[in-house]
Structures are given as structure tokens and as C-alpha cells.
Amino acid sequence: MHPISVIHSPFIDKKQTPIQPTRSQAVGQVEVFPEFAAGLQDLEGFSHIILLYIFHQSHGYTLQVKPYLDDQLHGLFATRYPCRPNPIGLPIVRLLARRDNILDIEGVDVLDGTPLLDIKPYVPDFDMRTDTHCGWYDNQKNRE
């Protein structure tokens, strides 16, 4: 695993950083390293992209965590908690524009300088499910 890019964002402190891209309108840039730039051709036709990045400021993990949205312990894999055995995040962000190897994106929820492993186009035919239920997360929302 080796980064193909670095993400530039307004967030230099974990405490300021939004928890999920759906809660952020922040704008940032994905700077793809020049040797991978040819792989971006036609990406600009997609409105949204999936970023696979490393939570590079997360160290260690425990298997039971209290997510920020709830006050109960849950299994780590039943949450989106960033400290994980393989700490990879996968936000969906809006692609505003591509300028050669630079992608302007909206909905950034990561720290400035975050290393990126992959970029994939968001395709609802593959990536969307509607007949869902969400366990503790639904229960927490119903309590709100």
C-alpha cells in the first residue's frame, strides 16, 4: 500500500474536523502525484467520487468503542470509528472540477495532508442501497 495522492483540506486539527462528509461543505483539493495523473482521464464526468484514505493520525484500536453518535459501547466493526486494525476511510465527496492532476472537491471531512490510496467514481448502480436498516444508529436517531 503506497499513497497516490495527498488531500489538502482546511482542517489541521482533529477537533475541528467534521465527522462525516455529509456534515461538511468544506472545499479541498486532491493533489494526485504526477506519475498517476494519466489515470484521472474522464473522471471529471462524474459528480461524486469515493476517496480511500488512511486515517494517518489514528494509532491503535480497541474492539469495543463508544461512537460519537451514541453513549453505548458497540463492536468496532459496527461503527465508523477511525481507530481500526486497517484504518481506511471511504468518504464520498462532490467533484467540483479537475485541473490536470488536481481535483477540487466539496464535502471534505479529513485532515490536511491525509494520504490517499485510491479514487473511484461513485456509481449509484453499484454503491446505493435503499432497503436498509441500521441497528443502533437508527435507534439513536429515533431517540433524538
Q: Is 23 helix (H, G, I), strand (E, B) or coil?
A: helix
Determine which residue in the list 13, 60, 100, 135 makes contact with a copy of itself, applying CB under 8 A: 135
Site string (24-63) toward a copy of itself, x via CB under 8 A:
--------x---x-xxxxxxxxxxx-x-x----------x
Terminal alpha carbon distance of the chain: 40
Site string (83-122) toward a copy of itself, x via CB under 8 A:
-xxx-x-x-x------------------------xxxxxx
In the numeric block, the cell 468518504 is attached to 91
Say whether residue 71 binds a copy of itself (CB under 8 A). Answer: no
Residue 43, judged by CB atoms within 10 A of its CB (0-12, 13-18, 19+), counts as: middle
CA-nearest of 121, 111, 107 to 87 is 111
Q: Which residues bind a copy of itself (CB under 8 A)?
A: 1-2, 4, 20-22, 32, 36, 38-48, 50, 52, 63-64, 73-80, 84-86, 88, 90, 92, 117-138
